[in-house]
Amino acid sequence: MKSFKLVAMYSALLLVLSVATVQAQTPSAGATVVSAPTVQAASQAAVQAESASRPHPVTLAAAQQGVLSCSGRINQVVTALGVTDNAGVALMLPSVQADQRLAPLTLEMPTTLGSSAYISATFAPNQANGCGASYDAVVYWPKSCDEVTQQSYAALKVLGRLKKDIVMLDGGATTKVFLLPAGAAGCISIKREIML
């Protein structure tokens, strides 16, 4: 009887995911082409088409390990970030009550710079919106932080220094970018986005 209920719940989850829409924003016409991975940068039509066709393999893997209430949000984030077979994925799920606890996910994704981005996403069930999520995308840029700001984040407002070395850029209430000088001529960007 228990396995029948699990199969029924899993089937219902797949049905819900196959018809769920994703609420991503379409970038403005003047959006910069080169930037760190972002949920907001994916076009709404492309994300909805991908999500409606079938659940992402990362979503399925999480569901198979018991994460059901955040499956829609996981699907939204990994699809919008453009996670493909070229990405490395580590699910760090709890061994008990996986559907009632934080579900951390770590990604290594190729960037347009030819290097890799490190992305850490966390999904929280039982939130006001059903499942809250946030991610940090960390990218090394072989140029100064001023150049990164001007070339990749020109649309964001410079808020100033966090303390001494880290410059904070404002992308709105749910998005911030932190720029940290790295070495003689490099910069590390840490983009933090939350889905409320």
Single pTM value for the model: 0.73
CB 134 within 8 A of CB 193: yes
**Closest alpha carbon to 82 in 110, 124, 121, 122:** 110
pLDDT of residue 91: 94
* CA separation, residue 57 to residues 79, 110, 123, 125, 181 (Å): 10, 18, 16, 20, 36
pLDDT of residue 59: 94
Q: What is the Cα–Cα distance from 144 to 188, expressed in whole angstroms?
A: 9
pLDDT of residue 156: 97
**Closest alpha carbon to 119 in 111, 107, 132, 110:** 107
pLDDT of residue 124: 95
Length of the chain: 196
pLDDT of residue 22: 27
pLDDT of residue 49: 52
pLDDT of residue 112: 86
Contacts 24+ apart (CB under 8 A), 101-108: 101/125, 103/62, 103/67, 103/70, 103/74, 105/58, 105/62, 105/74, 105/78, 107/78, 107/81, 107/83
pLDDT of residue 52: 56
pLDDT of residue 31: 30
For the chain, the domains span 2-25+35-195
The one-digit pLDDT tens for each residue of the chain (196 residues) are 433 333 333 333 333 333 232 222 222 333 333 344 544 444 344 444 544 568 999 999 999 999 999 999 999 999 989 999 899 999 999 889 999 999 999 999 999 888 999 999 999 999 988 899 999 999 999 999 999 999 999 999 999 999 999 999 999 999 999 999 999 999 999 999 998 7
pLDDT of residue 43: 39
